[in-house]
């Protein structure tokens, strides 16, 4: 038997199974159950390794993986950095990750985006007091929107 | 079992290992294969025809007491590059499911050689079980050329999904083993 060229394009298609696999709609419905899952998808779409994203966000790789796979709310000050890295609209990302309530009036949503941008340029790390103040401010905005 | 695989256009050599799947494998599949599959499907549209199986269910089922199926992983560094689910009947080994990772499919293939390594492992398992290297599988259409290329033959049977069943004869399995041996590490 002549030497079989295993390392060719056909090898890339090796798949066998008792089904034809899931449709993309079923994959999304079954596995994309947490908003934070979008982070891994954005990262892969932009072909960025976890090390690079973690470094850009000043967090560890374990923390990044934790955010990508859990329900934990992504910290407010990280969201504009994420939007910038992946070149996605900040307002939509804030909303998708649960930082803005869809029923908020447009003015308050714009204010939220301004605060997020301010948080991005407030320095590499917010002090504990700054984080508490930002949270209080954020809560005020949310409470205002309920009135 | 360790074997040589090749990364990228420069064909930089790597080492890939076949290991038994454990309880963390299903989680790794969800965390890595699923987002990759979603991304590439949306990015490449209809050109990316990768079939994602319910590997988390397949793997978890293999841990149920009394189940005959067993799952193996192909690991390069710490990355899950391939998965196999094997079963047996009276006459041959059956590959219930086999796939390389979404990032090893189509023109974006990052690592070459993982699939052949998994086939080698399957033949060795068949030998160990006394089946003389014989195994069968039902192939997805895009994968048929690969199986024909390594010596498998269409049995004439199709499953309920219309997928063709392929059979690896003993002599062809033996030839594959001999050919692949130089890739072992």
C-alpha to C-alpha distance for A51 and A68, rounded to whole angstroms: 13
- Chain A positions in Cβ-Cβ contact with residue B24 (cut-off 8 Å): none
Test A17 with B140 for CB contact under 8 angstroms: yes
- Total residues found in chain A within this entry: 147
Is A76's pLDDT higher than 90?
no
Rounded average pLDDT per 10-residue block, chain B, 185 residues:
87 93 92 87 76 94 86 95 93 94 82 93 96 96 91 95 95 96 92
pLDDT for the residue numbered A1: 38
The chain-wide mean pLDDT, for chain A, equals: 71
- Residue A32, C-beta contacts closer than 8 angstroms, at least 6 positions apart: A38, A41, B34, B38
| Partners of B17 in beta bridges | B2, B75
pLDDT for the residue numbered B138: 95
pLDDT for the residue numbered A142: 45
Q: What is the torsional sign of CA A99, A101, A106, A107?
A: negative
Q: A–B: how many Cβ contacts below 8 A? A: 133
The secondary structure of B56-67, three-state, reads HHHHHHHCCCCC
C-alpha to C-alpha distance for B48 and B58, rounded to whole angstroms: 23
Express each pLDDT in A90-138 by its tens digit.
Answer: 777 887 787 764 555 666 666 666 656 655 554 444 455 544 444 454 4
Q: Does the pTM exceed 0.80?
A: no
Long-range pairs, B27-34, Cβ under 8 A, ≥24: B27/B56, B28/B80, B29/B55, B29/B56, B29/B59, B29/B80, B29/B83, B30/A31, B30/B56, B31/A40, B31/A65, B31/A68, B31/A69, B32/B79, B32/B80, B32/B101, B33/B80, B33/B101, B33/B102, B34/A27, B34/A31, B34/A32
Q: For residue A27, give the nearest of B37, B97, B137 by CB distance.
A: B37
pLDDT for the residue numbered A124: 44
Distance in Å, alpha carbon of B63 to nearest chain A alpha carbon? 19
Q: Are B154 and B107 in contact (CB under 8 A)?
A: no
Cα dist from B65 to B61, B62, B169, whole Å:
9, 8, 31
* Strand pairing class (B12-20; B2-7): antiparallel
Task: Give the ipTM.
Answer: 0.82
More confident call, A18 vs B99 = B99
pLDDT for the residue numbered B73: 98
pLDDT for the residue numbered A43: 85
pLDDT for the residue numbered B153: 97
C-alpha to C-alpha distance for B135 and B168, rounded to whole angstroms: 5
pLDDT for the residue numbered B74: 97
C-alpha to C-alpha distance for A108 and B116, rounded to whole angstroms: 58
Closest Cα in chain B to A3: B179
Is A11's pLDDT higher than 80?
no
- Residue B146, C-beta contacts closer than 8 angstroms, at least 6 positions apart: A10, A11, A13, A14, B115
**Short-list B89, B32, B86, B91, CA closest to B58:** B86
C-alpha to C-alpha distance for A131 and A75, rounded to whole angstroms: 10
B140 CB burial (10 A radius; 0-12, 13-18, 19+): buried
C-alpha to C-alpha distance for B118 and B147, rounded to whole angstroms: 12
Write the DSSP symbol of residue B184.
B
More confident call, A4 vs B69 = B69
- Chain A positions in Cβ-Cβ contact with residue B6 (cut-off 8 Å): 7
pLDDT class of A86 with cuts at 50, 70, 90: confident
Q: Are B93 and B119 in contact (CB under 8 A)?
A: no
CA A94 remoteness from chain centre:
9
pLDDT class of A10 with cuts at 50, 70, 90: low
pLDDT for the residue numbered A108: 60
Q: For residue B51, give the nearest of A12, A15, A32 by CB distance.
A: A15
Test B113 with A6 for CB contact under 8 angstroms: yes
The secondary structure of chain B in percent helix, strand, coil, rounded to multiples of 5, reads 40, 30, 30
| Partners of A41 in beta bridges | none
């Amino acid at each position: 038997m002549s030497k079989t060229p295993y390392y060719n394009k056909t090898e890339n298609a090796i798949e066998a199974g008792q089904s034809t696999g899931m449709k993309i709609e079923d994959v999304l419905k079954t596995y994309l159950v947490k908003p934070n899952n979008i982070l891994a998808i954005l990262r892969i779409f932009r072909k960025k390794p976890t090390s690079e994203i973690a470094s850009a966000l000043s967090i560890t790789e374990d923390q990044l993986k934790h955010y990508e796979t859990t329900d934990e709310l992504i910290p407010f000050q990280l969201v504009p950095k994420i939007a910038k890295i992946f070149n996605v609209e900040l307002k939509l990302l804030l909303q998708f990750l649960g930082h803005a309530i869809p029923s908020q009036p447009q003015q308050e949503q714009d204010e939220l985006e301004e605060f997020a941008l301010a948080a991005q340029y407030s320095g590499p790390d917010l002090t504990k007091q700054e984080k508490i103040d930002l949270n209080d401010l954020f809560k005020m905005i949310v409470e205002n929107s309920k009135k | 079992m360790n074997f040589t695989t090749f990364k990228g256009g420069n064909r930089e050599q790597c080492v890939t290992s076949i290991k038994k799947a454990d309880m963390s494998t299903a989680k790794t599949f969800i965390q890595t294969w699923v987002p990759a599959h979603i991304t590439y499907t949306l990015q490449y549209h209809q050109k990316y025809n990768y079939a994602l199986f319910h590997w988390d269910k397949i793997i978890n089922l293999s841990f149920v007491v009394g189940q005959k199926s067993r799952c193996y992983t192909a690991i390069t560094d710490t990355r899950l590059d391939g998965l196999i689910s094997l079963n047996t009947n009276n006459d041959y080994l059956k590959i219930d499911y086999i796939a390389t990772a979404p990032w090893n499919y189509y023109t974006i293939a990052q690592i070459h050689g993982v699939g052949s390594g998994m086939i080698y492992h399957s033949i060795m398992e068949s030998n160990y079980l006394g089946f003389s290297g014989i195994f069968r599988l039902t192939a997805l259409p895009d994968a048929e050329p690969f199986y024909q290329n390594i010596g498998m033959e269409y049995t004439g049977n199709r499953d309920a999904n219309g997928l063709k069943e392929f059979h690896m004869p003993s002599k062809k399995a033996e030839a594959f083993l001999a050919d692949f041996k130089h890739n072992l590490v």
